[in-house]
Structure formats: structure tokens, C-alpha cells
Structure 1
Amino acid sequence: MQTLTKFKKTSPLLLDDERLALWDKIQTYSDNLVNTTFKEYLESTEEVAVRMEDTIPILHFYREAFDKILYELRNTKVKNGSASVWLLYNMGFVIKTPSGCFAIDLDHRLAEQLEPFLDFICITHNHQDHYNIKLLEAMVKNGKPVISNFYKDSGEYLSTKPASYKIKNFTIKTDMSDHLANPDMQDFVTLFRVECGDDSGNFSILHCGDSGFNPEQFKHVQGPVSMVVLRWGAPRESNIFGTGEGQVETNYAVLSHLIELRHKPFPHGQASITKTLEHLPNVKCKNTIMPFWGEKLTWSKGKMH
């Protein structure tokens, strides 16, 4: 897969002409996949899934991202004063520090295999593209926290109101938001702010999920933060940036939720790469990053690398 090989040589921190051209090819591969085929793939046996990955480019990228992250989690020793951040798929991130590892909104056909590496997992809301049920079951089976607003086996980590938790070196604060400003889905999304501790170089992350980006609903997670995970950079997403009540200050905004393959191509549900690139220049953040599945960012000395 020449496109993937070339893409791996680019950086999510540099959106140059080469990376833009490759993004365009990836969008084409995504558009060529019927969403029902992806759903069939998710339910397939491993043998059938591998055959599909060998013949359908976007599914090859999907599998390669998982294999890359699994390998790097096994083999990456995070240096003191830093943190590693991987985007797996959609809005699913894995964060590893010198003393622990957690994930937010992890959704992948093979996500269950990541359980041994995770200390806890956060889920923003009860939509299928934001969690993997087999992974949640494996976490609970092994006594690991699943923090959510809906999963019945979350136990003490189940909350439909703003909450705070302490797990190992990690401090987690949550708030509740409407889903995409939908009045019929009030308080449907949990916002997660995770402070990762001194050994991570004081890295912190705010994951907004599919929120409505209303500062009134961000008061429990407000303030300066190392990195903010947005959706696709739509204008309302910048409402949370600033120094006012319910706002956050950051030098790094990450765009996600790109080409989620269960959705039909844009404008019928999917957040397209093309439209996200149109949004990007207007995101009110010093550095707006657009990573792809499997890519890693490193926090060190107060900067993303």
C-alpha cells in the first residue's frame, strides 16, 4: 500500500502539500467503501476480515493502525517528564505515561487486545463508535475502572453528573454536555479532563466527545490544558476556547471523528477529511493538529512533538 507507506513518512504536525495529497487519496478510499460493508467486516471472522483488509485499502489502514499501536504499547518506554498519545480510530485515544496508561472512547474491532496495557478507560457516551463492548467486559473482568455515564458494570465509576476520580497518578474530572447541542439528548455526553501527573511533564488532556461545545457545560473541566480533543473543527467547537467561565486555554487542539466508517460519506453523516480541512484554519487555537489512525504524538518539555 504505497499511500500508507508514504503517509507514514509525513508528520501530523506538518500539513504540507504531500500530506494534503495523501489525505485526498485516503478520502477517496473511504468514500469507496459502502458503510454496510464496514459493518459486515466488524462482524466477520478473523479469516474473512483479513481477506477484506488485504483487498480494501481503507480497511488495510484500519488494521495497520491497530497493529502499530499494539506494537508500540508493548515496546515504548515513556521517558520521565513526557507522555505518548496515540489516535487509534475515530475519537479513540490511548495515553501512556511513565507510570500508567489509559484510553478514551476506544473503538476498534480488535480493541479487546489492548486491555492488558490499560489501567482504566473513559467513555464519553453510549454510541457504538465510541466504545467496544468486548474491551469494556475485559476491563471489568480484570477489575479495571470503566468510567462512563451509562455502562451498568462501571459500578462506582458510573455517573450522570460532574464527578472527580483519582486513579494511580491520574486525576480525572468530568462534566456533562448535550450531544451536539441536540435538545433531545441533554446531558448525554461526559466530558473528560485527565491530569496525568508530574512524571508525565504535567500533561493534561480534555476530551470533548460529541459534545455541544457550550461553555456553560464545561465549568467543571475548565482552565488551561495541554491538549484538547475536538471533533472536526466546526465553528461552534471554538466556543470553548478563551479565559472566561467554562472555557479552556491550550496550545494544541486535535481534530478527530474523521471518516468514521459506520456513517455514510459526507454529507450523509460522516465527517469528511475535505470538510475538516476547510474548518481547520478557523479553529481558534495556536496549533490545530489533524492526526490519522495509528499516529503518535509525544508531549515533552511543554510541547507536542
Structure 2
Amino acid sequence: MARKIQNILFLFFLAFQSSFYGQKVVDLSGIETREKRYQIKYIDSIAFLCTDTVYREYLQCKKIAKNEPAKAVLSLLDKKVNFVVKNIAKSNSKNEKVVLWQIYNMGYIIQTNKGSIGVDIHCRDAIRFAKHIDALLITHAHFDHYRNDLIDEMKRLNKPIISNWVENTYKTDTVRTYTIGNFNITTQLGNHYFWKKESNNDILMFEIETNGVKILHTGDNSSVEKLVGYKNIDIFILHHDIIKSLPTAVNIVQPKLTVLSHIMELSHPRTANGYRWTYAHALKKSKLIPDANNVMLFWGEWIQIK
């Protein structure tokens, strides 16, 4: 029975991978088309077949068995990441638009015609991105927000790593501003768990300004109070669920576009309290935002800004 279900889901994989593969934006403005519902249901279904143990083995580049139920979703993830690696070097070399690439989970690359910045990149063979980014920003030291191979390669290439834990000249646990190429990066302190005193100021949030565009990436910050003071934000990237109040957060920041993130993290357990939020869950949360101008990017998708 399990094998039959796997085969059925793989057929859906073949049918829908073309519609997900490429540069489309999954628009969560409240218009739920039939195709969109099917796509979300499909991704959630095949992702549920992947245990956190299998995903961690996959990260170590172990070969995926042909009869492994998680093969469909891991193959799809591979294709998406490979697409970014293949296209990022040539996608934005001639114009001044800012391109935001979604890699996986909270992982993004912000690209201009003069350089690129990576934030919370986590994927198999993340080392491949080292030559394409000028700096790596890491919000905090949780497993799903970094990869050691990328950190080591950035160090070898003598490229900046801004975090509160990686030992290098850019390590910081305070509010600071850095200029790296045509990027101005300001760190602020956030709280991963607003209900825990020991979590106060335990993560970094990044305001990134380049080519006249401001992007705010708050990682796993859960505190809405930490968002007070931000102005003229074009893109607001935040954890869609852990934030104390999604509507309040968006109302405080008032961005032109909200990007809901930390969705379908495969390293998290599949249990009810395992914090593996589905795309369907994120879609439901998006309806809490008064302003419908919000999106959810799927792996390998990108948007142009400005």
C-alpha cells in the first residue's frame, strides 16, 4: 500500500514539477486558484513522506534509495537548488534591479548588478554558493540556518560572515552597520522565543540596503516589539508562524511586500509539535494580514524588485 501511494505521488511529481520549476512566484494574495491548491497539497503530501532523519542523511550526500518514499521531494529540492546555482551568475549582470532568490527555508540570496549577499543558506552542497556571494549573513546558530561547508569555504576565500557566533572579524552581538560592496547591512537584535527570558537578543536581524531597495530579514525573531523603528522597508522576510502576531508585525514594519518564510523545514520532525509548518498552513496564516500584498516563494523561485 505504501509503495502504491509513493508511485501515485511520484506521478503527481512529474505532472507538477514543470509548473513549479522556474521563476514563478506563488502569490498568496487570497486568490486561491484550483491549480494553486493542487500544487500546495501536492508539495505538502510528498514532503510528509520525508522524515527528518532521511533529510539529514540526504544533506550528507548519501545516495537516496530508489524505493525511498522521500525521493520525490528530495529530487525536487535538488532540482530547485541546482537551478539557482546554474542561473544566479548570469541573471542580473546588466541592470540595476534587485533580485531576491529563495533557496530553502529562511535561505535567500539578494543579488544586484554589482554583487550578491546570502542569508541563512541551508541546503545540500551549499559550498557551491561561496563563489557567487560577497558575504554570508547568519541570523543564529540553529542547524536549519547554515551549513558548515559554506562557512568553511567563505573563510577560505576570506569573505565576510556576519553572525553572532562564527569566529571572524565580522562576528557581532550588537547593533552595527557594515558596508560590503554596494550593500549597507545593519544588524539589530531579535528574540527567537519571546516567551523565554534567556532568548532575549539571541539572534541577529538584518536590514540590507542596496540600489535604493531596503530588505529586512528577521530570521526566527518572534518579538513584535523588536520591529519598532524600521521605516521604508520594501521587502519584509519573516518567520510566518513563530512571530507573536503576524498582523501586528506587518502593521509595524509596513513593507511594500511581505515574504512569508520558514515553511516545510524537512529537518524538523513530522509530529504535530515538530514545527514542520506546511504550505497550506502558511497560506492560512497569510489571510491574517490585512494588506494582501504578500507572497510565499517556493524553492528556486525569484522576484525582481524596483
What TM-score results when the alignment is normalised by the length of structure 1? 0.87
Specify which structure has the bigger relative contact order, considering alpha-carbon pairs within 8 angstroms and separated by 6 or more residues: 2
Distance 1:207 1:5, change over 3 A: same
Among 177, 201, 208, the alignment partner of 1:194 is 208
Equivalent-residue separation in structure 2 for 1:145 and 1:17 (angstroms): 45
Name the counterpart of 2:154.
139
Correspondences of 1:1-305 after superposition (within 5 Å) = 1-8=14-21, 11-13=25-27, 16-45=33-62, 48-49=63-64, 56-152=71-167, 154-155=168-169, 157-181=170-194, 182-197=196-211, 202-215=212-225, 217-219=226-228, 222-233=230-241, 236-242=245-251, 247-265=252-270, 266-300=272-306
Kindly state the Cα deviation for residue 22 of structure 1 after the two structures are TM-superposed. Answer: 0.7
User: What letter is aligned with 2:275?
Assistant: G
Distance 1:223 1:36, change over 3 A: same
Kindly state the Cα deviation for residue 7 of structure 1 after the two structures are TM-superposed. Answer: 2.5
Cα RMSD of the aligned pairs, angstroms, is: 2.2
Instruction: Name the SS of the counterpart of 1:210 in structure 2.
Output: coil
Instruction: Name the SS of the counterpart of 1:28 in structure 2.
Output: helix
Between 25-34 and 70-79, the greater mean CA deviation after superposition: 70-79
Between 282-291 and 106-115, the greater mean CA deviation after superposition: 282-291
Q: Deviations over 1:15-73 (max 9, x none)?
A: 5321221110100001111111111211234xx15968997111011101111101111
Equivalent-residue separation in structure 1 for 2:285 and 2:244 (angstroms): 7
Count the aligned residue pairs.
286
Instruction: Give the conservation status (yes or no) of the 8 Å contact 1:7–1:19.
Output: no
What 5-or-longer segments of structure 2 have no aligned partner? Answer: 1-13
Equivalent-residue separation in structure 2 for 1:299 and 1:44 (angstroms): 34
Instruction: Give the conservation status (yes or no) of the 8 Å contact 1:253–1:285.
Output: no
Distance 1:105 1:55, change over 3 A: closer
Instruction: Name the SS of the counterpart of 2:26 in structure 1.
Output: coil
What TM-score results when the alignment is normalised by the length of structure 2? 0.87
Equivalent-residue separation in structure 2 for 1:241 and 1:279 (angstroms): 12
Q: Deviations over 1:131-186 (max 9, x none)?
A: 1111011111111100001111x22x111111111111111111111113132322
Distance 1:83 1:54, change over 3 A: farther
